[in-house]
Amino acid sequence: MDRQVSKSEVPSYEIVEEKIKEIDGSIIVLRIFYIFMQIVYKFQLIKNDKLCTVEIPRKLLEGLNNTNASFDDELTRILDTSIQHSDCWNKI
């Protein structure tokens, strides 16, 4: 089973949360899991009565603190693609 983590354990959590709010201010980060075998953080997002899961590589989150804009662009692409794709959202 994947280990649930707190937002304080997630590198650059504030940046991810800010980008999610920019896409849609009604989305809430419900839970975050760390998947050790894949070295990714799995964000479970909720909007109204629907749930969406977005996986973000740990290296990308760690790289957001650098001045390299490519990390920021990649995060934006992942979030945009996942959140705006209707298949991501499942009724709970």
pLDDT of 49? 93
pLDDT of 1? 64
pLDDT of 30? 96
The Cα–Cα gap between 64 and 11 comes to 8
pLDDT of 72? 92
CB 32 within 8 A of CB 42: yes
Q: How many CB atoms lie within 10 A of CB 81?
A: 11
Q: pLDDT by residue (tens digit) across 3-45?
A: 899 999 999 999 999 999 999 999 999 999 999 888 999 999 9
Q: pLDDT by residue (tens digit) across 30-88?
A: 999 999 888 999 999 999 999 999 999 999 999 998 777 899 999 999 999 999 888 89
61's CB contacts (< 8 A; 6+ apart) are 10, 11, 12, 16, 41, 75
The Cα–Cα gap between 43 and 5 comes to 10
| Integer CA distances (angstroms), 7 to 14, 36, 49, 68, 85, in order | 8, 17, 22, 23, 24
